[in-house]
Structure 1
């Protein structure tokens, strides 16, 4: 695994720990936000790859 991927994984795990520490209602909103962020990254990555 590259160093960049490891840093990304570590950042994601850190975000997940913060979400899990929140009360249920806030946790649900935080998971929605995280999902949207990850979806945007994935879809943005596809768009960038198709432009190359």
Structure 2
């Protein structure tokens, strides 16, 4: 696996909306260039990070219905 797959969820910081959008767009372009199996895992990690940020919790839900 490459480093993209082994990254810990990023902490939410106080960037502007424009900066956050540009960073997310760059990450998504990078993910889309990965092989399909790695892409699925990477998109799952982005999903989890966004969910945690939106819910305002520091925990992830690994239960079967968590996604």
Fold shared, TM-score > 0.5 on shorter chain: yes
State the TM-score, normalized to the length of structure 2.
0.60
Q: Which has the larger radius of gyration?
A: 1
The count of residues paired between Structure 1 and Structure 2 equals 43
Note the aligned Cα RMSD (angstroms): 1.6
Structure 2 residue aligned with 1:7: 19
2-structure distance, mates of 1:44, 1:11: 20
TM-score (norm 1): 0.77
The structure richer in helix per residue is 1
2:48 to 9, 25, 36: 36
